[in-house]
Amino acid sequence: MRSNKKFQVTGPLDPIVAVLGGEAVLPCSLFPAVSAEDMELRWFRSKSLETVFAYQNRQEQKEEQMTPYAGRTSLVGNRLNQGYAAVRIQRVQASDNGLYTCFFRKGHFYEEAGLELKVAGVGSAPQVHITGPEEDGVRVVCTASGWFPKPQVQWRDLSGEKFLAFSEAHTQDAEGLFSVEAALLVRDSSVGNVTCSILNPVLGREKAMAIFIPEPFFPQASPWKVAFSVSLTVLVILLLGAGCYTKREHSIKMQVRGEKETLCETSEQDRQTKEEVLKDAVMLQVQLSQLYSLYPWLRDNLQAQPDEFFTWPVTLDPGSAHSDLVVSHEKTSVTLKASCVNTADTCSVLGFEGITSGRCYWEVEIRDGDQSGWALGVCGEGVNRKGWVALVNAGASHESGMYNCPSQRGKQRFFLSTVLSEITVTHRSPSPSELKIPGAPLELVRPYLVAPV
């Protein structure tokens, strides 16, 4: 077992190379360099743990040694007192190739280190010969034996260019040595010489042999083969041409089909567009007809826009109000008493301000207009207001001096325009109405409001 470290065992870092039939030395050393004369030393194979060499009690222990190494190993012990020991293997064989371990023990303390031995051997020179014509070329074979480890084969032409396509077979004999056979098919009759080289990858050593291939050795092309080759070439060209033509025709058909589909889609879009245009034209015609029917009203209406009128304040005259009417304190609104009874009198009220000429408008808000019959309009300064009920119900007339417009619920505007001898009263509401009185005298007119009767 191991205790506190007393020494270390080291071996070479790089593999040890030995040539077949030669000798190999497997060295190990101690650090610090203490004497190993009284230690137990062993070298054994790392995988099988079989003993290659054993040293104990200052002598070799041959009974522990494995048979293949008997008589071939010895201890290099002239430097044991310096902490250096090595085992020499003579007549190196291919089976000696591999990993080793050196083991040093003193008492109960021991250490070990690993080593690698690479065995290499150069075999026979390659033998190259022609086996005869094959297919459309000449078959050349290269053989060699006695190589270790497995050799590498290369074929080259006269210029040194390598042949990449060739077959290769390896066999191993009872001693572990390799034989190789490589076959090359040469198709170029002008190649001349070919060289076969065998390389040992460990030693970097190579053996090569060249051979000349006469041109008559190559098989002559028979007439039927030439004709067949020409026919095959023409057939391939025709097939390629037919394929290209078919592909082109297919592309043209697909393009034409796509253009037809595009034209159909365009025609359908044009048809839909025409239908929409016709529908729009019909709608425009209807709208134009409606506009033509409204033209008289629009013409006069455009001639009297609100921005051409000025606001006329409506201040109610309490003195002109019927006793059943209540005028507000601000004199801007009037209501009908709930307790009033039907009388023959007209419940009306006039505005303070009078109008003699120009254009003006005032706003009136009618509440409960749907349930009442208020009458709105203008009247002359000296008109007699008695008997207005009948006049209002029958509609205002020029002779009576009253010009009224129907009232509706909500806020409404009434426009007044006096031009020359004509008075125009326009009621601006959702249903425009207009009253013209040709030949009306240009006298002072006042707005009036008649309560429902």
Considering the domain architecture, whether residues 151 and 168 belong to the same structural domain is answered as yes
Considering the domain architecture, whether residues 183 and 85 belong to the same structural domain is answered as no
Q: What is the pLDDT of residues 285-323, one digit of tens each?
A: 877 776 666 556 555 554 555 555 667 677 888 887 787
Which range is least confidently modeled, 13-22, 148-157, 434-443? 434-443
Domain contains 1: no
Q: What is the pLDDT of residues 237-254, one digit of tens each?
A: 877 877 777 788 788 888
Domain contains 388: yes
Q: How far apart are CA 221 and CA 103, in angstroms?
A: 71
Q: How far apart are CA 150 and CA 198, in angstroms?
A: 10
Q: How far apart are CA 341 and CA 262, in angstroms?
A: 84
Domain contains 257: no
Cβ 105 vs Cβ 39: under 8 Å: yes
pLDDT at 378 (0 to 100): 76
Give the type of residue at 405. C
Which residue intervals of 294-375 are DSSP H helices? 295-302
Which range is least confidently modeled, 111-120, 147-156, 422-431? 422-431
Closest CA to 348 of 401, 309, 386, 296: 386
Q: Is 182 helix (H, G, I), strand (E, B) or coil?
A: strand
Domain contains 148: yes
- In this prediction, residue 283 has a pLDDT band, given cuts at 50, 70 and 90, of confident
Q: How far apart are CA 161 and CA 140, in angstroms?
A: 17
Q: What is the mean pLDDT of residues 429-451?
A: 53
Residue with tokens 């008075």: 423
Neighbours of 445 (CB within 10 A): 25
Q: What is the DSSP letter of 102?
A: E
Of 188, 217, 246, the residue that ends a domain is 217
Domain contains 392: yes
Q: What is the pLDDT of residues 317-331, one digit of tens each?
A: 888 778 788 888 788
Q: How far apart are CA 360 and CA 418, in angstroms?
A: 9
pLDDT at 200 (0 to 100): 97
- Reply yes or no on whether the pLDDT at 130 is more than 80: yes
Burial of 443 (C-beta count, 10 Å sphere; 0-12/13-18/19+): middle
Considering the domain architecture, whether residues 326 and 371 belong to the same structural domain is answered as yes
Q: How far apart are CA 390 and CA 231, in angstroms?
A: 123
Q: From start to end of 65-166, where are the E strands?
A: 73-76, 84-89, 98-106, 109-120, 127-134, 137-147, 152-157, 162-163
Kindly state the percentage of the chain with pLDDT values over 90.
Answer: 42
Which range is least confidently modeled, 43-57, 232-246, 322-336? 232-246
Look up residue 261 and give its two tokens: 């589909």
Give the type of residue at 422. E
HEC-encoded secondary structure of 200-230 = CCCCCCEEEEEEECCHHHCCCCCHHHHHHHH
Considering the domain architecture, whether residues 337 and 403 belong to the same structural domain is answered as yes
**Cα 44-45-50 angle, rounded to 5 deg:** 65
Cβ 139 vs Cβ 38: under 8 Å: no
The sign of the CA dihedral 451, 439, 429, 310 is negative
Of 217, 247, 262, the residue that ends a domain is 217
Mean residue pLDDT of the chain comes to 79
Q: What is the DSSP letter of 20?
A: T
Closest CA to 19 of 163, 200, 171: 200
- What's the domain count of the chain? 3
Which range is least confidently modeled, 103-112, 305-314, 340-349, 439-448? 439-448
- Reply yes or no on whether the pLDDT at 39 is more than 60: yes
pLDDT at 227 (0 to 100): 54
Look up residue 75 and give its two tokens: 């201890």
Considering the domain architecture, whether residues 114 and 172 belong to the same structural domain is answered as no
Domain contains 258: no
Considering the domain architecture, whether residues 375 and 439 belong to the same structural domain is answered as yes
Domain contains 166: yes
Considering the domain architecture, whether residues 392 and 446 belong to the same structural domain is answered as yes
Considering the domain architecture, whether residues 77 and 132 belong to the same structural domain is answered as no
- In this prediction, residue 441 has a pLDDT band, given cuts at 50, 70 and 90, of very low
Q: How far apart are CA 136 and CA 127, in angstroms?
A: 24
Q: Is 150 helix (H, G, I), strand (E, B) or coil?
A: coil
pLDDT at 333 (0 to 100): 85
- What Rg value do the Cα atoms of the chain yield, rounded? 66
**CATH code at 436?**
2.60.120.920
Considering the domain architecture, whether residues 360 and 427 belong to the same structural domain is answered as yes
Q: What is the mean pLDDT of residues 417-437?
A: 50
Q: How far apart are CA 410 and CA 429, in angstroms?
A: 9
Considering the domain architecture, whether residues 43 and 150 belong to the same structural domain is answered as no
Of 120, 140, 159, the residue that ends a domain is 120
Higher-scoring residue by pLDDT: 177, 393: 177
Considering the domain architecture, whether residues 82 and 209 belong to the same structural domain is answered as no
Look up residue 258 and give its two tokens: 């796509």
Considering the domain architecture, whether residues 352 and 394 belong to the same structural domain is answered as yes
Residue with tokens 């000296």: 382
Q: Which domain holds residue 438?
A: 309-450
Look up residue 192 and give its two tokens: 């001349």
pLDDT at 309 (0 to 100): 62
Closest CA to 47 of 95, 105, 91, 7: 95
Domain contains 323: yes
Cβ 165 vs Cβ 142: under 8 Å: no
188's CB contacts (< 8 A; 6+ apart) are 137
Q: What is the pLDDT of residues 179-230, one digit of tens each?
A: 999 999 999 988 989 999 999 999 999 999 999 999 888 887 555 455 556 6
**CATH code at 178?**
2.60.40.10
- Reply yes or no on whether the pLDDT at 404 is more than 60: no
Which of 234-243, 364-373, 418-427 has the highest average model confidence (pLDDT)? 234-243
Cross-strand bridge partners of residue 199 = 152, 206
pLDDT at 439 (0 to 100): 45
- Reply yes or no on whether the pLDDT at 442 is more than 50: no
Cβ 154 vs Cβ 123: under 8 Å: no
Residue with tokens 């990449």: 164
Neighbours of 106 (CB within 10 A): 16
Q: What is the pLDDT of residues 74-96, one digit of tens each?
A: 999 889 999 999 999 999 999 99
